[in-house]
């Protein structure tokens, strides 16, 4: 989001808004795309990929190997990735320009990794690659130059609206199909349309949980006076365990 602002002498940033009677647009959405052919990660010189990477997604109880390279958030999928050292290898989610995003490995059995995309990840196109981490340094495990193994795969992350999958759940959380809309009033975050209690958590764009509170409805908000100006991700968890992610801007 592009928003004009001014910096006060004390360093505080204040957003510049249009007058209430003005028709002018005072902010714009912005999509950033990374386009580069340069490796931004550090390749491992110690370990190598020893076979092809395989992606295994289960759908309706059936295994769909390399089906469409699309996964839903918070759903397990399998990645087969033999390397020269399985003990310390992990599967990571990387931006398309090579920047490391997050570890998605939840468990490993031999060369097969169980992975899950956390719902703090924004939907979009990424790359999954094996890597090691030592002293907070990420090193990608690649094939050797004389091999033709597939050592990375593109992955499309889908943000599935699972609150709408179950009509009974939708009736609990929303009224007459009304959307869940976050808004801020008096430094308190409310969710319009949230009829029945849910647990709400707030994350920054780095995926760090900042606040959490149970039994929130549209009438009981969450105090956010200590959050800085910026964009945040809201995670709602219903009493049935269903998860919904929203975004809001604190001005």
User: Which regions of the chain carry the CATH code 2.60.40.10?
Assistant: 181-250
Q: Return the percentage of the chain with pLDDT > 70, whole number.
A: 76
DSSP string for 146-206? T------EEEEEE---TTTT-HHHHHHH-STTPPPEEEEETTEEEEET--S-EEEEEE-TT
Q: What's the rounded Cα separation, in Å, for the pair 114 and 103?
A: 12
Topology of domain 70-157 in CATH is Immunoglobulin-like (2.60.40)
Q: What is the pLDDT of residues 173-217, one digit of tens each?
A: 444 445 788 888 888 999 888 888 888 989 887 778 899 999 888
Q: Which comes out higher in pLDDT, residue 95 or 105? A: 105
CATH topology (fold) of 181-250: Immunoglobulin-like (2.60.40)
Instruction: Indicate the pTM of the whole model.
Output: 0.49
pLDDT in tens, 60-80: 555 444 444 667 777 888 888
- The answer to which of 30-44, 135-149, 224-238 has the lowest mean pLDDT is 30-44
């Amino acid at each position: 989001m592009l928003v004009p602002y001014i910096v006060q002498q004390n360093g505080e940033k204040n957003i510049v808004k249009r007058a209430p009677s003005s028709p002018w647009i005072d902010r714009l959405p912005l999509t950033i795309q990374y386009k580069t052919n340069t490796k931004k990660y550090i390749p491992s010189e110690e370990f190598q990929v020893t076979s092809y990477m395989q992606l295994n997604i289960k759908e309706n109880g059936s295994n769909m190997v390399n089906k469409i390279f699309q996964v839903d958030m918070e759903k397990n999928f399998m990645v087969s990735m033999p390397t020269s050292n399985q003990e310390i290898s992990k599967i990571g989610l990387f931006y398309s320009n090579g920047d490391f995003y997050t570890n998605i490995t939840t468990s490993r059995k031999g060369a097969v990794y169980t992975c899950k995309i956390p719902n703090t990840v924004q939907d979009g196109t990424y790359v999954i690659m094996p890597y090691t981490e030592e002293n907070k340094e990420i090193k990608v495990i690649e094939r050797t130059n004389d091999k033709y193994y597939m050592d990375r795969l593109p992955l499309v992350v889908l943000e599935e609206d699972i609150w709408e999958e179950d009509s009974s759940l939708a009736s609990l959380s929303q009224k007459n199909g009304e959307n869940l809309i976050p808004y801020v009033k008096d430094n308190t975050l409310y969710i319009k349309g949230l009829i029945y209690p849910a647990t709400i958590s707030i994350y920054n764009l780095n995926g760090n949980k900042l606040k959490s509170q149970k039994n929130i409805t549209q009438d009981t908000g969450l105090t956010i006076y200590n959050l800085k100006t910026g964009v945040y991700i809201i995670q709602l968890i219903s009493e049935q365990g269903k998860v919904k992610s929203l975004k809001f801007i604190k001005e």
